Amino acid sequence: MGKIKKSIDTQDLLKEAFKAREAAHAPYSRFKVGAALLCDDGSVFTGCNVENASYGLTVCAERVTVFKAVSEGRKKFAALAVVADTPEPVQPCGACLQVLAEFSPKMDLMLIMGGRKGKLKSCRLNQLLPGAFRLKRGRH
């Protein structure tokens, strides 16, 4: 895979995602997910999924990372790594893809997906969500 941007290695970003996965709160599904988001300035934000007994209130790891970054003033992203304890790489759900699209106007965010057996899959956001929903800003 090589380097992504800002001297961060793909493997390092995946390691951060696996580390974040350890903190997941998934008592219902037992499906723990971790994510690491590389910002354009080189900073990295991590997150894990947080489940709730009222399933609709559960938040995916990918959205946790985006919300943490945005709450710290970052809105330009270079890559997102997402991992789970699955044999094959796991990809973000549709809701997470739509949230990522909000911060990737050109839909060129690099997504790196990994599973426990070391298999990787990478692609650009536009490959998984070619028809992202868009609103013109300032118009209602």
Q: In what order do the strands lie in the sheet with 77-84?
A: 44-48, 33-39, 77-84, 110-114, 120-124
- Say whether 62 is catalytic: yes
Tokens 């118009």 -> residue: 139
Torsion of CA 54, 60, 66, 71, to 10 degrees: 30
Cβ proximity of 120 and 89 under 8 Å = yes
Catalytic residue among 16, 22, 51, 62: 62
* 3-state SS assignment for residue 124: strand
Residues annotated as catalytic (active site), given as ranges: 62
